[in-house]
Amino acid sequence: MKKAELILAIEEVHRSWNYLLERIPAERMTETEALGDGSIKDAVAHVIWIEAQSMGMLRAESLIGASESYPLPTEERDAAVVAPSRVRPLEEILDEARTVQCELCELVASIRPGDIDGADWFADLPGTWPPARVIEVNVLEHYWDHIEELARWYRRNV
């Protein structure tokens, strides 16, 4: 995916995610087990954590830019990420989400087009993935998975 396409895709996924979140009453976002074993607030914290990890990798130009929790098995990592968010106020998590979204757009915009598309710029990538592919998988595909989950919940509950 080329840089311009990637930026547009990031903006689109953020718009879609935020559109849904804006329609959910705040008191519903903290309901435990709304989305299986967690709340919508938990899902927001989880999604932005993954997005922030992707930014760390881009800034470090390597997978070593991710948290030590990143390589853990998915369920173990998700539990470690969500646990601290459960005591944080909802508005704080939503503010962080907006900040992280803006920072990712600015970061991707600052990367030279050839670098975002080329695997030789980034150390320790899986296979021959260019950095754009890391963003596609860890941000775009991840958001769309959670957007579908959130949309199903919304259709049933609001």
pLDDT for 100:
96
The string of pLDDT tens digits covering residues 4-30 is 999 999 999 999 999 999 999 999 999
Distance between CA atoms of residues 52 and 49, nearest Å: 5
Query: Is domain 3-157 classified as CATH 3.40.1450.10?
Result: no
- Does pTM top 0.85 for this prediction? yes
Query: Position 150: which residue type?
Result: L
pLDDT at 101: 97
Q: What pLDDT, in 10s, does the model give residues 20-56?
A: 999 999 999 999 888 888 899 999 999 999 899 888 8
Q: Which residue in 30, 16, 3, 22 sits closest to 144, CA to CA?
A: 16
pLDDT at 131: 80
Residue of 148, 146, 122, 147 lying closest to 133 (CA atoms): 122
Q: Which of 71, 51, 70 is nearest to 135 (CA)?
A: 51
Q: How confident is the model at residue 65 (pLDDT cuts 50, 70, 90)?
A: low
